[in-house]
Chains A and B, each alone.
Chain A
Amino acid sequence: MSNGEHDNKERNEKKDAAPQSEPAQADESCAVEITEVKVETATEAPPDQPAAKAEEPELVRAAYEHPLPIRITHWVNAISLFVMVTSGLRIFRAFPSFGPKIPEKVLLDIPKSLTLGGWLGGALQWHFTFMWFFIASGVVYVAYQVFSGHFRTMLFTPRDIPGVWPMARHYFLFGPKPPATGQYNPLQKLAYTSTIGFGALSLLTGIVLFKPAQFSWLAFLFGGFHLTRLWHFAAMCGFLAFIPGHLIMVVLHGWANFFSMLSGWKREPEYQE
């Protein structure tokens, strides 16, 4: 068990216990002090204990799902990704092909309305500005996940493989809903873990496209400059495949779920523990 997860558990238990011990307590730091002792009794006390019940107003089940660094990086990343995709499409319009310049075969004509920057130079300015926000949010996010141990809630591991199909069957074929085991189901873990892969791919290929002469070894790893440009585009397609599904799920799961990415707190989560 990582320290991070342990801390998290402890902190949540403190929060759990705080209002029970001192309902009128306003000062959080003070409440934490008191609950230090109360943790065991709060969770293990028989439910029909008369004293506790008498002063106990109705409690809401909630979970502090998204620590501040996750929420900040999520939104900075969301904004950056929007800018990177729309400006990137404008850049692609300048040479919408992965082949030679002569003869140039237009692969797809991207409508101007979907793009940002107005012209190639403007789009490059947006791209060269928000790439730094994109990188910063990605690096901070991954570093936080790793060092806090929080990644265990979302990292897709081989253990999650058997759960993918039942979940996909539920979502796409109206199959029975598998029981919720943790904060995220296996399909969610797969989706979220994939986006880290898309982010890493877009970063590494982006470095090559930005500085191919300085990072020629990296260009070589991706199969040369041409293919790197294709991989950079493919990474964007990965994000574009993720985003609609992600947004549909957010809408389907309602306000409490959406609000949790703003406030960190999820009211009445569907999973136990």
Chain B
Amino acid sequence: MITRLEEKELKRQSRRQLLKLAPVAVLGVFAVPKMSDRLVAAGVRFSDWASGVMFRSQHPAQTYSNAEVVPFAKFPYNGYDVLDPEVDLEKWTLTVEGDVQHPGEYTLAQVQALPKINQNTRHICVEGWDVIGSFGGARISDFLKLVGANTNANFLEVECADDYYESIDMASVLHPQSLLCYEMYGQPLDRKHGAPLRLQMPTKLGYKQAKYLDTIRVTNVLKPGKTGYWEDQGYSWFGGL
């Protein structure tokens, strides 16, 4: 739509319109490194909040047939430090702490006495790769019932034999596919995959699925800077799928 107007008027209009664009320049604060660190951390917190809203506590992650499961040899071993922290499997117990009626030491046999769930689900790494694996274990929710946990608490914290640590929102913990996993591919968990007990949650990224579990704690507050090994370095805390 062509208009004819005076030079002065065109300049005035252009200037006015240019000024209206000024708010966009606010995004320039992202160019200042000190500011951008804080801003992107806030962006991740917002994404985590949105992830919590999108999470459906009873919606199952897709499961797969045995034919779709990748062979055991092609399921990567992944650890942040040592792959075998040399857990003494004979003497191993799981320490249960925090907001529970029956804190103390629990044996693997007690976990295995709970109803067993077998599931073929997709294990997705934050790096972008994924594998469909076969897992067996007890529902975390069943175990929490056994120990009399207050499931209205906000978080489950876990500590591992390799000094890895994690914390998970209670809604994801109580998801029916969230397992205390002691079997992969029908065999007892091997040492590099986290023997004797690991977390397995198809609604979470791989780094949330702590291996070589040592202690679990039901709690309402997380210690700042101690929410998860990778999270403390910048990964999303929610880490949900």
Contact = CB atoms under 8 A, between A and B. Distances in A.
B150 interface: no
B5 A273 contact: no
Nearest to B15: A263
Find the residue from B7, B51, B54, B128 having the highest chain A CB count within 10 A: B128
B24 to A, nearest CB: 5
A259 B75 CA distance: 55
A30 B43 CA distance: 45
B2 A259 contact: no
B59 interface: yes
Interface in A213-256: 213-214, 216, 219, 225-226, 229
A273 B2 contact: yes
Interface in B207-241: 230, 233-236, 240-241
A31 to B, nearest CB: 9
A62 B5 contact: yes
A122 interface: yes
Interface string B80-124: 000000000000000000000000000000000000000000101
B47 interface: yes
Contacts of A225: 122, 124, 130
Contact of A212 (B10, B43, B122): B122
A171 interface: no
A128 B59 CA distance: 24
A15 B16 CA distance: 14
B74 A61 contact: no
A262 B54 CA distance: 37
A44 interface: no
Find the residue from B1, B51, B131 having the highest chain A CB count within 10 A: B1
A63 B3 contact: yes
B234 A95 contact: no
B231 to A, nearest CB: 9
A121 B14 contact: no
Nearest to B21: A71
B6 A92 contact: no
Name the interface size band of chain A. 35 or more
Nearest to A126: B40
B18 A125 contact: no
Given A60-B10, A76-B24, A262-B18, A125 B234 contact: yes
A75 B4 CA distance: 27
Contacts of A71: 17, 21
Interface in B41-72: 41-44, 46-47, 51, 54-56, 59, 61-62, 70
Interface string A103-122: 01000000000000001111
A129 interface: yes
A159 B85 CA distance: 68
Interface string B1-37: 1111111011001110110110110010010000000
A121 B10 contact: no
A235 to B, nearest CB: 16
Contact of B14 (A119, A122, A128, A259): A259
B137 interface: no
B146 interface: no
Given A9-B1, A225-B122, A213 B62 contact: yes
Contacts of A269: 2
Nearest to A66: B17
B128 A91 contact: yes
A101 B27 CA distance: 37
Given A19-B9, A57-B6, A120 B127 contact: yes
B47 A16 contact: no
Nearest to B25: A75
14 contacts: A8-B1, A18-B5, A59-B4, A60-B5, A68-B20, A79-B24, A94-B127, A102-B76, A124-B234, A125-B40, A132-B46, A211-B54, A262-B21, A263-B14
Interface of A: 8-9, 12-13, 15-16, 18-19, 23, 57-64, 68, 71-72, 75-76, 79, 83, 91-92, 94-95, 97, 100-102, 104, 119-122, 124-126, 128-133, 210-214, 216, 219, 225-226, 229, 259, 262-265, 267, 269, 271-273
> Top 7 A-B pairs ranked by shortest CB distance?
A129-B43, A121-B234, A95-B128, A263-B14, A125-B40, A94-B127, A213-B61
Given A12-B2, A213-B59, A213-B203, 11 more contacts: A13-B3, A72-B21, A95-B125, A101-B130, A121-B230, A122-B40, A122-B234, A124-B44, A125-B41, A126-B43, A265-B14
